[in-house]
Amino acid sequence: MITAPDLSRGGTRGGRWATAACWLAAAPVAAWALVRLAGLESGPLVLAIAFTPYVAALAPVVAVSARALRRRAPAVVAALAALSLIGAVAPRAVPDARPPADGPTLRLLTANLRLGSADPAGLVDLARVRRVDVLTVQELTPALAAELDRLGLATLLPYRSLSPEVGSTGSGVYARHPLRDTGHRRNQGFFFTQAYATVTVPGAPPLRVESAHPAAPYAVDVAPDWWTDQRAQPPATPDGGLSVLAGDFNATLDHAALRELIATGYTDAADAAGAGFGGTWGPYDGDPIPPVTIDHVLVDRRIAVRAAGTFPVPGSDHRALLAELRLPAG
């Protein structure tokens, strides 16, 4: 008598094709986890690694599917990769403990203005409604800077350090409070400028703010420029004055270069607030790209992050990022 095979005791389903399919799914997930955890991204992987949260969501599906097909080895490999990737990205949804800062509150907004094409009225309204104290902008053009002032930004945030330029290289820092030590520096990659200034907030120590904008790794041949600009970002000064870097970093928390910068003494505000999955670039101008988080507010670890969130900016391919901070008393 012919009987059906007993699959309840370790049998397999689907034959060699299923085995091959399981390994074809598990191997890339495992390789991705290795690259992400070891910080090995280079060449095209610099761009790809930005999508790590999506791979972390897919990895458990691969593990469960391989287990359902009784392919133990690829199931184990995929499960280990899933645990590693989820462990790397999941903390972004959990608020961190705050440092004991007891000084004034500061609301800082950063926005990439997409070659000056962002809607100036929308940006001014956002700054007004959200009671922004400091605004950092990237891709600021002379025409847009003039229009922002005409629409009321000069009244809302009268102090500024600006380097507006035609195209994508301009930047600026606007503030409600007086500024000193103003200026800008130019990156070597795409020659984006980074305006900076020291904000004098009543009741707090001086706060250095810089509008960050390293090169974008949009193609393999510009990845070296991206690395150059990332490594040129000013480190934190945990034994010195307070500092904030806010802007379009063209990097996510899955990029080793950004993690190394944060390790000098910064905290990523959105990550600290449990809002680290808020996308800031991708589909907002109609491109079929999943959202990724490449805009950040990096704050000195002595600064407490109370909240963070993203807001649309009409005319831009980025969302603005707002961080509510509590500064140490000064």
For residue 269, count other CB atoms closer than 10 A to its CB: 27
- What does the DSSP assignment read for 185-231? EE-SSS--EEEEEEE--TTS--EEEEEE-PPP--SGGGHHHHHHHHH
Question: What value, to the nearest 5°, has the Cα angle with vertex 122 and ends 116 and 123?
Answer: 60
> CB neighbours of 68 closer than 8 A, spacing ≥ 6?
13
Residue that terminates a domain, selected from 92, 126, 154: 92
CA dist 264 and 236 (Å) reads: 5
DSSP string, 56-76: HHHHHHHHHHHHHTT-HHHHH
Of 92, 115, 136, the one marking the end of a domain is: 92
Q: What are the two backbone dihedrals, phi and then psi, of residue 317, each rounded to the nearest 5 degrees?
A: -95, 10
Asked if 211 and 110 count as a contact pair (C-beta separation under 8 A), the reply is: yes
C-alpha of 116 from chain center = 21
Q: Is residue 198 part of a domain?
A: yes
**What does the alpha-carbon distance between residue 97 and residue 143 come to, in Å, rounded to a whole number?**
42
Residues 65 and 214 in one domain: no
Nearest to 299 by CA among 199, 209, 239, 229: 209
Whether residue 109 is found in the same domain as residue 249: yes
pLDDT value at residue 19 = 94
- Same domain, residue pair 178 and 41: no
| Residue 71 lies in domain | 7-92
Report the number of distinct structural domains present in the chain.
2
Query: For residues 323 and 270, is the Cβ–Cβ distance under 8 A?
Result: yes
Q: Are residues 64 and 107 in the same domain?
A: no
Residues 303 and 210 in one domain: yes
> Residue 161 is which amino acid?
S
pTM of the model: 0.93
Each residue's pLDDT expressed in tens, for the chain with a length of 330 residues: 444 444 334 445 568 999 999 999 999 999 999 999 999 999 999 999 999 999 999 999 999 999 999 999 999 999 999 999 999 999 999 999 999 999 999 999 999 999 999 999 999 999 999 999 999 999 999 999 999 999 999 999 999 999 999 999 999 999 999 999 999 999 998 899 999 999 999 999 999 999 999 999 988 999 999 999 999 999 999 999 999 999 999 999 999 999 999 999 999 999 999 999 999 999 988 888 899 999 999 999 999 999 999 999 999 999 999 999 999 998
For position 258, which CATH number holds? 3.60.10.10
DSSP 40: -
Q: Within a domain: residue 1? A: no
Joined tokens for residue 128: 């007004």
Asked if the structure places residue 152 within a domain, the reply is yes
